[in-house]
């Protein structure tokens, strides 16, 4: 196969695509340009490296550059930044150490990922103020946190904020969290968020909800977080985790269509408006399984799965990248929280549904079996079609059960069909009626 597959970006989507394409079609020339030095790493593990539970940053690397080059025969070039794409000429312009060259392609994958949003806070450039979205940032934070520091501030109550609160508390710092919304973990729904909020407070985290941060002050190094009304909260280190934005400028400059979410628009095969250009990972849209509309939910499995499918397509076997449900799970000290689909009823109404929901508390195991704990389940459905729309779970164990609901979403199951699933039972693992089945049974009663 005398063709070249060029990939921009060497993390989840890019390296999954490269590996699958080369495996399926060994004669394909596969070249990956990565502007940094890290490739194929587990970004989700970075908070646990900062906490100290992961001893070596290298442990987060799934496959080394040497393995890609020597064992998989992939032309991986780190320290190479693609600065321009010319779809008409089918070339990319690459910069390395101030010098530029062009590389032609037959197929191109844009996997430029996303970047941490840096609001225009005063003092955001002070020493001790960080975002955490790549390995170098994680290493810098871990190196910065020392016995001399006492107080940490987290700006943003999403996944990163909650995980970093645990990480920095685990390093012995007093942690304050600032969130503009009424709750943290907004996509998980008010019930799950409320349980996590109470647990964070029990762990000593000071929560400041519905609180806008104005900036940071300090003499060279950050000393305080400045809030509205001239209120000031001392801080020796600050993590800004207010979300991410897709890196789309390279694609946009090349005339590649940007979707309504702000990410690169793609079809079911990950193809853009240019038939030879694909996009995947945190920079690209996918179709939401519940609404059928484009969505941008940057998660690890989404990137890996889409990249692998595109690699297979380029190698000659067209493969759909798959719909997404936004299934996610997060650890908050001794609690876990998970979610999938549409949990918020207002969001469901905006999508054209008539939502009805229930929240139940159930035991994670048989009540009489040691170690059983309370698991809170919120289940949402459409009243007219009775189709399951989404769910959230929160508890000390068992929140991975969210995968059952995610499967129900992809299968477009009704609440009754979910209730009648034959799920496993044994006292160490579940009550006779699994909490998911119990929630479906209660919700089905409201629909009848």
Residues 229 and 192 in one domain: yes
Q: What is the DSSP string of 35-74?
A: SSS--SB-GGGHHHHHHTSS--GGGGBSS-HHIIIIIS--
Q: What is the pLDDT of residue 18?
A: 98
Which residues form the domain of 303? 4-115+245-314
Domain of 139: which CATH number?
3.50.50.60
Q: What is the dihedral of CA 290, 292, 296, 300, to 10 degrees?
A: 60
**pLDDT surpassing 90 at residue 362:** yes
**pLDDT surpassing 70 at residue 1:** no
Assign 21 to helix, strand or coil: helix
Residues 441 and 380 in one domain: yes
Where is the domain boundary, 242, 269, 294?
A: 242
> How much is the average pLDDT of 114-127?
96
Q: Does 143 reside within a domain?
A: yes
Residues 286 and 238 in one domain: no
For the chain, the average pLDDT equals: 97
How far is 246 from 39, CA to CA, in rounded Å? 18
The one catalytic residue in 44, 180, 366, 421 is: 44
Q: Does 10 reside within a domain?
A: yes
44 is catalytic: yes
In sequence order, what are the beta bridge partners of 279? 110
Question: pLDDT: is 133 or 223 the higher one?
Answer: 223
How far is 117 from 162, CA to CA, in rounded Å? 17
Residues 142 and 209 in one domain: yes
Q: What is the dihedral of CA 65, 71, 73, 79, to 10 degrees?
A: 10
Tell me what percent of the residues of the chain surpass a pLDDT of 70. 100
Residues 305 and 409 in one domain: no
Q: Does 322 reside within a domain?
A: no
Q: How many CA atoms lie within 13 A of 25 on its CB side?
A: 20
Q: What is the pLDDT of residue 448?
A: 80
Q: What is the value of pTM for the model shown?
A: 0.95
Judging by DSSP bridges, how do beta strands 91-96 and 81-86 pair with one another? Answer: antiparallel
> How much is the average pLDDT of 345-367?
97
Residues 367-417 pLDDT 10s: 999 999 999 999 999 999 999 999 999 999 999 999 999 999 999 999 999
Q: How many CA atoms lie within 13 A of 20 on its CB side?
A: 23
Residue in 103, 33, 117, 43 with CA at minimum distance from that of residue 68: 33
Q: Does 326 reside within a domain?
A: no
- Neighbouring C-beta atoms of residue 99, cutoff 10 Å: 7
Residues 170 and 198 in one domain: yes
Q: Does 46 reside within a domain?
A: yes
Q: Does 319 reside within a domain?
A: no
Q: Does 260 reside within a domain?
A: yes
Q: Does 16 reside within a domain?
A: yes
Q: What is the pLDDT of residue 303?
A: 97
**pLDDT surpassing 80 at residue 233:** yes
Q: What is the pLDDT of residue 444?
A: 96
Q: Can you say whether residue 160 is alpha, beta or left, with left for phi > 0 and alpha for psi between -120 and 50 degrees?
A: alpha
How far is 124 from 148, CA to CA, in rounded Å? 21
Residues 56-65 pLDDT 10s: 999 999 999 9
Tokens at 333, concatenated: 């000290």
For residue 267, give every residue at least 6 positions away whose Cβ sits within 8 Å of its Cβ, in sequence order, or none. none
Banded pLDDT at 20 (limits 50, 70, 90): very high
Residues 32-44 pLDDT 10s: 999 999 999 999 9
Where is the domain boundary, 314, 346, 361?
A: 314
For residue 84, give every residue at least 6 positions away whose Cβ sits within 8 Å of its Cβ, in sequence order, or none. 92, 93, 250, 253, 254
How far is 369 from 359, CA to CA, in rounded Å? 24
Q: How many domains does the chain have?
A: 3
How far is 204 from 174, CA to CA, in rounded Å? 7
Where is the domain boundary, 190, 216, 242?
A: 242
Residues 106 and 134 in one domain: no
Q: How many CA atoms lie within 13 A of 347 on its CB side?
A: 15
């Amino acid at each position: 196969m005398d063709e070249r597959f060029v990939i921009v970006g060497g993390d989840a989507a890019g390296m999954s695509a490269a590996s699958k394409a080369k495996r399926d079609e060994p004669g394909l020339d596969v070249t990956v340009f990565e502007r940094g030095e890290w490739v194929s790493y587990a970004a989700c593990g970075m908070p646990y490296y900062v906490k100290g539970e992961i001893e070596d940053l290298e442990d987060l690397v799934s496959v080394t550059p040497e393995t890609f080059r020597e064992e998989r025969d992939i032309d991986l070039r780190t320290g190479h930044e693609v600065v321009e794409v010319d779809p008409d000429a089918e070339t990319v312009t690459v910069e390395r150490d101030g010098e530029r060259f062009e590389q032609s392609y037959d197929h191109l994958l844009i996997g430029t990922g996303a970047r941490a949003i840096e609001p225009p806070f005063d003092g955001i450039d002070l020493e001790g103020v960080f975002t955490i979205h790549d390995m170098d940032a994680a290493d810098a934070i871990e190196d910065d946190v020392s016995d001399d520091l006492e107080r940490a501030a987290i700006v943003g109550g999403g996944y990163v904020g909650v995980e970093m609160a645990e990480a920095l508390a685990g390093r012995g710092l007093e942690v304050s969290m600032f969130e503009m919304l009424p709750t943290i973990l907004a996509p998980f729904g008010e019930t799950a968020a409320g349980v996590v909020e109470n647990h964070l407070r029990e762990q000593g985290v000071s929560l400041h909800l519905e609180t806008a941060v104005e900036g940071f002050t300090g003499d060279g190094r950050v000393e305080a977080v400045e809030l509205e009304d001239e209120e000031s909260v001392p801080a020796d280190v600050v993590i800004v985790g207010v979300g991410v934005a897709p890196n789309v400028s390279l694609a946009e400059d090349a005339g590649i269509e940007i979707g309504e979410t702000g990410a690169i628009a793609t079809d079911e095969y990950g193809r853009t408006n240019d038939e030879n250009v694909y996009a995947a990972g945190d920079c690209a849209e996918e179709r939401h399984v519940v609404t059928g509309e484009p969505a941008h939910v940057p998660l690890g499995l989404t990137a890996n799965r889409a990249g692998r499918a595109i690699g297979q397509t380029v190698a000659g076997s067209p493969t759909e990248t798959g719909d997404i449900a936004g299934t996610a799970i997060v650890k908050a000290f001794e609690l876990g929280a998970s979610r999938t689909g549409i949990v918020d009823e207002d969001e469901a109404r905006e999508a054209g549904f008539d939502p009805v929901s229930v929240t139940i508390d159930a035991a994670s195991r048989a009540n009489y079996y040691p170690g059983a704990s309370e698991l809170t389940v919120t289940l949402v459905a459409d009243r007219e079609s009775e189709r399951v729309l989404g769910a959230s779970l929160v508890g000390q164990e068992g929140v991975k059960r969210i995968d059952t609901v995610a499967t129900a979403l992809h299968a477009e199951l009704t609440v009754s069909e979910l209730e009648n699933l034959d799920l496993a039972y044994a006292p160490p693992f579940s009550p006779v009626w699994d909490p998911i089945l119990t929630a479906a049974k209660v919700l089905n009663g409201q629909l009848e």
